[in-house]
Amino acid sequence: MRNTESVFRICLLNKASYTPAAMDVKRLLLNTIESRQALVSVVGLGYVGLPLAVALAQAGFTVVGVDVDEGRVTAVNRGESYVEDIPSEVLAAVTERLRATTNYDVLHRADVVLICVPTPLSKTKDPDVSYILSAGREIGQRLHPGMLVVLESTTYPGTTEELLLPTLLDAYSASRGTSVTPLTVGRDFFLAFSPERIDPGRTDYTLRTTPKVVGGMTPACREVASALYNTIVDRLVPVSSPRVAEMTKLLENLFRTVNIALVNEVAIMCDRLGIDVWEVIEAASTKPFGFMPFYPGPGLGGHCLPVDPHYLAWKLKSMNYNARFVHLAAEINFQMPAYVVGKIADALNDEGKPVRGSRVLLLGVAYKPNVADTRESPALEVARLLLAKGANLAYHDPHVPAVDVDGQCLESIPLTAATLAEADCTVVLTNHSAYDWDWIARHARLIVDTRNACRNVHGGAARIVKL
């Protein structure tokens, strides 16, 4: 196994020397990409960056990942994956081409830099672009003619042009002095935005089979970025600018967020009307046009839906526009965990029991089925609210061995017949495929089902209360 430094040396030996005046920079970079001689650096080796780095290594590129987390760097270099969608054996198979480091100096010789850093929200729901700015400064200090930089992190429209580009140029100038000749985007270096479309745990659409949207600062930028992504995806969707690509990503997630909020509110309406919302959705889904089914649940979770629409709302607020749909959808989805806790309290009350002191067992704390991801999971808010009401709380999740709820560490307990029988209320929050719902219904006493997981249960002792 080569070490990181030897990979760097091999890259330098394979790279032709050139000067911008002597050669067409764009043509040289296109040739370097086509021949797989380009050194690609992926900044941020999380759930987006690591799969991307692996795909590029599989395509024949030499790839160096950069991450501030030494644990991640060590794991990558050992061929040990910490991302569920990348098995360790897949990572280990490309370690001859893929190495990791905490040292940004590798970017001095990189042909391509892909930025895959987090873009969380602050406590006030404002975008936290500090990771983009930090990466931009590091890259800018090492920016050179013939480099392609692509931002993949989800953000508000205008970030690539208004934030990343000046950060790169300012850092470039500051690191070289005022006498240096400025670089021109689209001529000397290339900048684009291409939003990640990772859906953890999904197998029907992969990084390769999911169409890739690419927006360049100039037509030349788009051409170069498209040439790179064409090596790892089946279909490219070129758009006119980074702003369009940035907005495309937000629309995708806003579409889902708004429709989930709508069906969550419909679920509350149906509950008031004494109607089974799941039966309504199933019937409406038979219409062959004009309807797309969405399903209610305990709230929104994951890395995108609860976060991304706020980027758009924040940007529009700065332009004196109120994104009403965004705020309304967030309001509805945000109150769903409290609504679920209300359903639990009502179900226990029907059994003559208060929430305080009752044994409540949560099934699933991941934000979606069959993954270990608990980011923004509504199950954690349900747990927090139940603990605040004095419930004797426990949970089981086959994918999540432990979880933190307001500083309190909870560990997944074994799911046994006795565990179910002892619980005053069992709450289905994540419908993992590993669960045997017939068996659960046979041994539980009371089930509050927020996912319609028990729809096909036949018999059983449990009383089942739907969302």
**Catalytic (active-site) positions:** 304
Helix (H) or strand (E) holding 149: strand 148-151
Beta strand 425-428 pairing with 446-449: parallel
Cα end-to-end span (Å), the chain = 54
β-partners of residue 169 are none
Dihedral sign (CA 31, 35, 39, 44): positive
3-state secondary structure 277-315: HHHHHHHHCCCCCCCCCCCCCCCCCCCCCCCHHHHHHHH
Phi-psi region of 386 (alpha: psi -120 to 50; beta: other; left: phi over 0): alpha
Helix (H) or strand (E) holding 349: helix 336-350
> Residues 391, 383: contact at Cβ < 8 Å?
no
The b-or-e profile of 75-93 (16+ CB within 10 A means b, else e) is: bbbebebbbebbeeeebee
What is the chain's alpha carbon radius of gyration, rounded to the nearest angstrom?
A: 25
DSSP designation for 367: S
Helices (H), 143-204: 159, 165-176
> Residues 433, 370: contact at Cβ < 8 Å?
yes
